[in-house]
Chains A and B, each alone.
Chain A
């Protein structure tokens, strides 16, 4: 199953941030590493789609006063999610290799 760029980035962020992958940390990670800042709505819409596909799962965490008593929701990848991400990353690399991308930008 295909992944959008944001879904791909969100899944990579979740992998990198374990076990502290929640909305803000995912958003900040993408902002730092990919150079654009997706809105909270975009992130959660992507996470919602991924959860629906069974690629990520979420777990309710602690509610803090700083969050107005709202709980954090921590995300992790499922086994099908890892496979989908692997497939998606391989596709990007194959397409890049076929286009001679590394030589072209060198």
Chain B
């Protein structure tokens, strides 16, 4: 087949169009498998849907010109981000507990760190275990923060008392 006999590759941008053109059960398509009218060269699984890029011979002109056409069911927006799944939220009660013991600036830092860990854990272990780990970390943090807050209050109280005595 010479270059001038080839058509410009045609890109089908959705799965229905691809299936109607190829007339094959999508489940029969596998990478590298010859499907008669063409050949699957690449399959990508996104969630429950498979997207396949297939080189399909044009049946209308198969015997006369033996042209090739390329159909792709790849994502119509190749640069688009993959579908986003809503990230779970960390337990708000644990955040509240931390924020009661700290200044707003410090609680922002601590809760931000705990949330960053939570997001990583929820990707690795799932939301339920991540929430448990979050609570564990938050509770482990309470004692040193409480001690610090009490120490500060005592120092402040002692200072106020000293000022009162002086005046």
Tell me the A residues contacting B by CB distance below 8 Å.
22-24, 27, 39-42, 44-45, 48-49, 60, 63-68, 70-73
Contacts and interface: CB of A to CB of B under 8 A. Distances in A.
Given A39-B140, A45-B147, A68 B111 contact: yes
B111 A70 contact: yes
Contacts of B106: 44, 48
A40 B119 contact: no
Contacts of B117: 24
A63 B119 CA distance: 14
Given A39-B141, A41-B140, A66 B110 contact: no
B143 A70 contact: no
Contact of A73 (B98, B105, B144): B105
Given A24-B117, A73-B105, A42 B141 contact: yes
Contacts, number: 72
A30 to B, nearest CB: 14
Interface range for B: 20 to 34
Interface residue SS majority, chain B:
helix
A33 to B, nearest CB: 19
Given A23-B110, A44-B110, A70 B115 contact: yes
27 contacts: A22-B109, A22-B113, A23-B112, A24-B113, A24-B117, A27-B113, A39-B137, A40-B137, A40-B141, A41-B110, A41-B143, A44-B110, A49-B148, A64-B116, A65-B87, A66-B115, A66-B116, A67-B112, A68-B115, A70-B108, A70-B109, A70-B112, A70-B115, A71-B112, A73-B105, A73-B108, A73-B109
